[in-house]
């Protein structure tokens, strides 16, 4: 038998400690995932669409497609 | 007495079960099966099992148990360890010790994955028909050109990667 006793383990509020840890972790992880998605995927996509439509000329695109011959309604001359 | 009550409940069908036969031999008292008695178990969440590990003590162990009834400071370290081993099978450290099972599992899983790969390669080589002509280089390049002509996915997709003025992929 060893002369020194082991330190007394925590006896009370075990569930409270576990809940605090997991609630905090869940909150941080979920908010983190949401933030990462918003600023990594959603915002760039919105910017890409805004940029595209800023200088978009539909008639130019239509004529290009007509010349390429992919439109049934407007065959190339 | 219990056996005769059971007899009345189920009718005359189960007369020939072995327990009933044994009961008739012992004047109505059925011997308790091993699995019905309290058992010893090595589990982390059961710190004090219902029975001691060693059930039938040898003479030397019984003498030790008698000595245990006196003052415990008279016991040597070896005797204390012996008493522990009478009561418990493994220490918590031994119980919680990891095994090398994961190596077997990983090896087996990888082996069967490899075997599946061999089967798939054999199938592709010996069994399957040739792939459709629409996967040839010429067809794929004509297909891509048509997609670009139609301006498919111009914002973030394929037409956004093509430089229409220089007629090449964007760097």
Q: How far is A42 from chain B (nearest CA, A)?
A: 12
Among B72, B96, B120, which residue terminates a domain? B96
**CATH number, domain at B28?**
1.10.442.10
Quick one: average pLDDT of A3-29? 95
Does residue B9 fall inside a structural domain?
A: no
Closest CA to B18 of B39, B33, B40: B33
Identify the sign of the CA torsion B79, B83, B84, B89: positive
Does residue B72 fall inside a structural domain?
A: yes
Residues of A in contact with B160 (CB under 8 A): 48, 52
Structure token digits, residue A29? 């992880």
Number of compact structural domains in chain B? 2
Q: Is ipTM over 0.90?
A: no
Q: Are residues B142 and B78 in the same domain?
A: no
Among B45, B70, B96, which residue terminates a domain? B96
Quick one: average pLDDT of A51-72? 94
Domain range for B143 is: 130-170
Q: Are residues B29 and B92 in the same domain?
A: yes
One digit per residue, pLDDT tens: chain B, 171 residues? Answer: 565 565 555 555 555 555 555 556 666 788 888 889 999 999 999 989 999 999 888 999 999 999 999 999 999 999 999 999 999 999 988 998 989 999 999 999 999 999 999 999 999 999 999 999 999 999 999 999 999 999 999 999 999 999 999 999 998
A61 touches chain B (CB under 8 A): yes
Element (H, E) at A20: helix A14-37
């Amino acid at each position: 038998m060893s002369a020194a006793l082991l330190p007394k383990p925590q006896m009370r509020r075990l569930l409270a400690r576990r809940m605090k840890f997991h609630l905090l972790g869940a909150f941080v992880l979920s908010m983190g995932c949401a933030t990462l998605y918003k600023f990594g995927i959603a915002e760039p996509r919105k910017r890409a669409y805004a940029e595209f439509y800023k200088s978009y000329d539909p008639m130019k695109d239509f004529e290009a497609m007509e010349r390429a011959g992919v439109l049934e309604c407007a065959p190339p001359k | 007495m219990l056996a005769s009550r059971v007899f009345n409940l189920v009718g005359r069908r189960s007369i020939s079960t072995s327990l009933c036969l044994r009961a008739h031999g012992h004047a109505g008292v059925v011997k308790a099966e091993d699995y019905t008695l309290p058992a010893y178990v090595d589990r982390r969440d059961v710190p004090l099992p219902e029975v001691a590990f060693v059930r039938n003590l040898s003479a030397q162990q019984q003498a030790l148990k008698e000595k245990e009834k006196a003052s415990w400071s008279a016991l040597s370290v070896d005797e204390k360890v012996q008493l522990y081993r009478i009561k418990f099978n493994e220490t918590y450290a031994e119980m919680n010790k990891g095994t090398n099972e994961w190596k077997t599992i990983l090896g087996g899983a990888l082996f069967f994955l490899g075997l599946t790969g061999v089967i798939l390669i054999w199938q592709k080589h010996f069994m399957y028909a040739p792939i459709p002509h629409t996967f040839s280089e010429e067809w794929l390049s004509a297909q891509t050109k048509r997609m670009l002509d139609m301006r498919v996915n111009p914002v973030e997709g394929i037409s956004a990667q093509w430089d229409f003025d220089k007629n090449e992929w964007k760097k």
